[in-house]
């Protein structure tokens, strides 16, 4: 199971989020983040290349969590079973106690177009990596890309619900509901064309 | 029916693509683009705010083409029927004679990370606008977002196939095949979980 990084990195990340949210992302320096938890700027830069990476250092973890689900799935799994397995595995990175952190992070990203672009890039890397992994398991095109993009879409919609005000359901519970909704939506046959 | 802009804008765009492809995007100036078709830099800037916009001035047209399909669809259309209608309408912007242009444009974008980001932004705006339009037609969440994202995914996969080497099928033919593939993919029921 993939886990968020504990220790100094985690403390710096929590401190950075608080400062970004209260003082603004642009206005916050790496030195201020470090000082707020009694560390030096030098220590900050041993953990993160810049303040933006505090928000995105979990990217590899997230991709790894999706991939771990694919690797653990049985060999005969269909593309959508693989998608479901990847989503269930990724949900482990979003336990209920992480919800406040994720809400705060999202509120910071929504206030800054450059961070939104970085987030889009993260999601496009996730979709591309999942596509590669599905092709690596013998899923042909375009099924592999469609499944990878669908996994990313379901994750995105589920994440938005999960951090919604008053939401109580777990990430995995939401993901299962959204994935079922996608199935129902696409399974409805279109009317015959004239 | 939505159409690409003819006349001076179209000439500048074709000239820009040729120069970007042969000399590199970074190395090409607005003045060079204008001069290559016997126009002044001043004329260039009456049509485009900068050279990047030469590659993206079709964005509103594309969004409009998707929306035109939604508007024309019958009131009782299901979300996926609306997706299909939007895709069919968008395909009108990509007739066979446009394929060479689209290939050239894609080759330029693939060589420049900033242009790739601009393209991702374009697709995210498309998905968000389609989601708004679907909600405007009374489609609830998360169906509206799932349908909008699926439309964008099918479009992206279809476009990649359409500009592929040796591809002969029309855009609308490819879109129908890819949409059917998405339906088949998601319709397959997963095995019951233990």
- For the stretch B110-141, pLDDT in tens is 999 999 999 999 999 999 999 999 999 999 99
Distances in Å between the alpha carbon of A33 and those of A39, A59, A69, A115, B59? 8, 20, 34, 18, 40
A183 chain-B contacts, CB cut-off 8 A: 186-187
A190 chain-B contacts, CB cut-off 8 A: 78, 80-81, 84
Q: Which residues contact B157 (CB under 8 A, 6 or more apart)?
A: A142, A145, A146, A149, B178
**Closest in B121, B183, B190 to A117, CB measured:** B121
Question: Which of B142, B143, B157, B178 should be substituted to probe chain A, the one whose Cβ sees the most A Cβ atoms within 10 Å?
Answer: B142
Q: Which residues contact A179 (CB under 8 A, 6 or more apart)?
A: A80, A83, A84, A87, A154
Residue B117 in tokens: 């980001």
* A87, A93 Cβ separation under 8 angstroms: no
Sign of the four-CA dihedral B106, B110, B115, B120: positive
8 Å CB contact of A185 and B120: no
DSSP for residue B98: G
Rounded to an integer, what distance in angstroms lies between the CA atom of residue B171 and that of residue B94? Answer: 6
- For the stretch A16-51, pLDDT in tens is 999 999 999 999 999 999 999 999 999 999 999 999
Residues of chain B with pLDDT under 50: 191-194
pLDDT at A193 over 60: no
Q: How far is B143 from chain A (nearest CA, A)?
A: 7
Omega into A142 within 30° of 0, i.e. cis? yes
For residue B57, the model assigns a pLDDT of 86
Q: Which residues contact B40 (CB under 8 A, 6 or more apart)?
A: B34
For residue B194, the model assigns a pLDDT of 41
A178 chain-B contacts, CB cut-off 8 A: 142, 146
8 Å CB contact of A78 and B124: no
DSSP for residue A16: H
Give the domains, in start order, of chain B with CATH numbers.
1-51 (1.10.10.60), 58-187 (1.10.357.10)
8 Å CB contact of A157 and B149: yes
Rounded to an integer, what distance in angstroms lies between the CA atom of residue A43 and that of residue A49? Answer: 11
For residue A117, the model assigns a pLDDT of 92
Q: Which residues contact B9 (CB under 8 A, 6 or more apart)?
A: B47, B48, B57
pLDDT at A6 over 60: yes
The mean pLDDT of A64-81, rounded to a whole number, is 95
What region, left, alpha or beta, does residue B7 occupy, with left being phi > 0 and alpha being psi -120 to 50 degrees?
A: left
Closest-CA residue of B relative to A182 is B146
Nearest CA-CA partner of A17 in A38, A7, A32, A2: A32
Query: HEC states along B124-149?
Result: HHHHHHHHHHHHHCCCCCCHHHHHHH
Q: How many CB pairs under 8 A join A and B?
A: 91
- For the stretch B1-13, pLDDT in tens is 555 666 888 899 9
For residue B193, the model assigns a pLDDT of 46
pLDDT at A153 over 80: yes
In A37-166, where does DSSP find H-type helix? 41-47, 51-56, 59-72, 79-91, 99-110, 113-136, 143-162
Rounded to an integer, what distance in angstroms lies between the CA atom of residue A58 and that of residue A71? Answer: 20
- For the stretch A100-146, pLDDT in tens is 999 999 999 999 999 999 999 999 999 999 999 999 999 999 999 99
Average pLDDT value for chain A:
92
- Report ipTM (2 d.p.): 0.87
Q: How far is B31 from chain A (nearest CA, A)?
A: 29
**Closest in A81, A149, A187 to B187, CB measured:** A187
8 Å CB contact of B142 and A183: no
For residue B5, the model assigns a pLDDT of 61
8 Å CB contact of A142 and B81: no
Distances in Å between the alpha carbon of B162 and those of A34, B21, B117, B192? 51, 19, 21, 37
For residue B169, the model assigns a pLDDT of 98
8 Å CB contact of B182 and A154: no
The secondary element (H helix, E strand) that includes residue B35 is helix B30-36
B178 chain-A contacts, CB cut-off 8 A: 142, 146
pLDDT at A176 over 60: yes
For residue A15, the model assigns a pLDDT of 93
For residue A186, the model assigns a pLDDT of 87
In A3-58, where does DSSP find H-type helix? 7-23, 30-36, 41-47, 51-56
Those residues of chain B whose CB sits closer than 8 Å to some CB in chain A are 78-81, 84, 117, 120-121, 124, 142-143, 145-147, 149-150, 153-154, 156-157, 161, 178, 181-183, 185-188, 190-191
8 Å CB contact of B178 and A80: no
* B93, B188 Cβ separation under 8 angstroms: no
């Amino acid at each position: 199971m993939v886990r968020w990084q504990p220790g100094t990195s985690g403390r710096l990340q929590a401190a950075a989020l608080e400062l970004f949210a209260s003082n603004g992302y642009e206005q916050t320096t790496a030195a201020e983040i470090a000082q707020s938890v009694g560390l030096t700027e030098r220590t900050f830069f041993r953990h993160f290349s810049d303040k933006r990476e505090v928000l995105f250092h979990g990217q590899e973890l997230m991709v790894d969590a999706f991939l771990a689900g694919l690797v653990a799935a049985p060999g005969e799994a269909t593309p959508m079973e693989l998608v479901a397995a990847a989503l269930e595995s990724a949900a482990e990175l979003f336990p209920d106690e992480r919800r406040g952190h994720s809400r705060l992070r999202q509120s910071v990203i929504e206030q800054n177009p450059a961070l939104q672009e970085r987030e889009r890039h993260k999601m496009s890397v996730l979709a591309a990596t999942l596509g590669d992994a599905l092709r690596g398991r013998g899923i042909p095109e375009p099924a592999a890309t469609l499944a990878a993009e669908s996994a990313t879409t379901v994750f995105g919609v589920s994440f938005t619900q999960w951090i919604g005000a008053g939401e109580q359901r777990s990430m995995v519970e939401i993901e299962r509901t959204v994935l079922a909704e996608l199935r129902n939506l696409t399974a409805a046959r279109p009317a015959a064309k004239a």
